[in-house]
């Protein structure tokens, strides 16, 4: 048997051995797509992070958007690793209360998230948000890539012309995210009465109506 024939036989044997693996992988992919559906197979997950004062009040607006898959209250932008709520509330860590938004870019755009953010904050307040004052309550758009940065800057410039006062909201690069304690997560759902009382007492909806009209939240 010549060298060419020997090589040909080896290649054929490899193909025979590999074929079952190819069939198995193809079948597995087909099963995953069938079970999860085309939406799951084609999903394009992304993250966005926003600081808009008390994080209790920022989860709800984003949770209502089709395409948002999860929201998590937490802390970002400070110098202490794994800070506690007590530490952040003291204003000594440099963190802001934030909401991390997980979303499917095939179903909701970052521009829609930005619009939701702006209409749920007071962009003119550089000392905090509503009744909550301090650096931990400042309003910030934390961008995760250059595209988000550009869109955030464009949106800030767009709303700048709506008000006589300058926009105080910052646009910063996303840093380490630290989830808040469990009792803060989905607070508007787990403690609805307390949430509504806090929100009303803080004057949040009244101020948002002055800024954006009565459709906020």
The domain containing residue 10 runs over which residues?
A: 1-42
Which residues are catalytic, by number? 54
| 106 and 188 fall within a common domain | yes
| 80 and 151 fall within a common domain | yes
- The tally of domains found in the chain comes to 2
| 110 and 36 fall within a common domain | no
- CATH code: domain of residue 193: 3.30.1060.10
Residue 196, domain member (yes or no): yes
Residue 217, domain member (yes or no): no
| 25 and 71 fall within a common domain | no
Q: Is the pLDDT of residue 179 over 60?
A: yes
Residue 172, domain member (yes or no): yes
Residue 54, domain member (yes or no): yes
Cβ pair 121, 207 in contact under 8 A: no
45 forms bridges with which residues in the sheet? Answer: 104
Q: Is the pLDDT of residue 19 over 80?
A: no
| 62 and 169 fall within a common domain | yes
pTM for this predicted structure: 0.79
| 29 and 90 fall within a common domain | no
| 37 and 104 fall within a common domain | no
Residue 124, domain member (yes or no): yes
pLDDT above 70 coverage of the chain, percent: 79
- Contact partners, residue 113, CB within 8 Å, separation at least 6: 48, 50, 62, 65, 68, 101, 103
Of 52, 49, 58, nearest to 169 by C-alpha is 52
Q: Is the pLDDT of residue 108 over 50?
A: yes
| 166 and 120 fall within a common domain | yes
| 169 and 62 fall within a common domain | yes
Q: What is the mean pLDDT of residues 121-143?
A: 97
| 187 and 199 fall within a common domain | yes
| 77 and 169 fall within a common domain | yes
Give the model's pLDDT for residue 44. 86
pLDDT in tens, 52-64: 999 999 999 999 9
| 127 and 24 fall within a common domain | no
What tokens were used for 74? 């937490």
Give the model's pLDDT for residue 13. 52
What tokens were used for 172? 């910063």
202 against 8, higher pLDDT: 202
* Inter-CA distances, 166 with 26, 31, 122, 126, 158, Å: 57, 54, 12, 10, 12
Cβ pair 114, 169 in contact under 8 A: no
- Contact partners, residue 183, CB within 8 Å, separation at least 6: 190
């Amino acid at each position: 048997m010549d060298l060419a024939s020997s090589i040909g036989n080896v290649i054929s044997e490899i193909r025979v051995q590999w074929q079952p693996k190819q069939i198995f992988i193809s079948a597995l992919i087909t099963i995953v797509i069938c079970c999860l559906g085309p939406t799951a197979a084609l999903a394009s997950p992304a993250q966005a992070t926003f600081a808009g004062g008390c994080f209790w009040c920022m989860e709800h607006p984003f949770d209502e958007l089709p395409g948002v898959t999860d929201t998590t209250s937490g802390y970002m932008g400070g110098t202490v690793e794994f800070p506690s709520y007590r530490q952040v509330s003291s204003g000594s860590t440099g963190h802001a209360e934030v909401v991390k938004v997980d979303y499917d870019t095939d179903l909701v755009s970052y521009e829609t998230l930005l619009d939701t953010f702006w209409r749920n904050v007071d962009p003119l307040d550089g000392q905090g948000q509503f009744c909550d004052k301090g650096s931990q309550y400042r309003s910030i758009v934390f961008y995760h890539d250059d595209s988000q940065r550009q869109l955030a800057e464009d949106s800030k410039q767009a709303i700048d012309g709506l008000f006589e006062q300058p926009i105080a909201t910052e646009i910063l690069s996303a840093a380490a995210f630290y989830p808040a304690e469990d009792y803060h997560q989905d607070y508007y759902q787990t403690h609805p009465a307390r949430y509504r009382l806090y929100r009303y007492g803080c004057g949040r909806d009244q101020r948002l109506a002055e800024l954006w009209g009565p459709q906020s939240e």
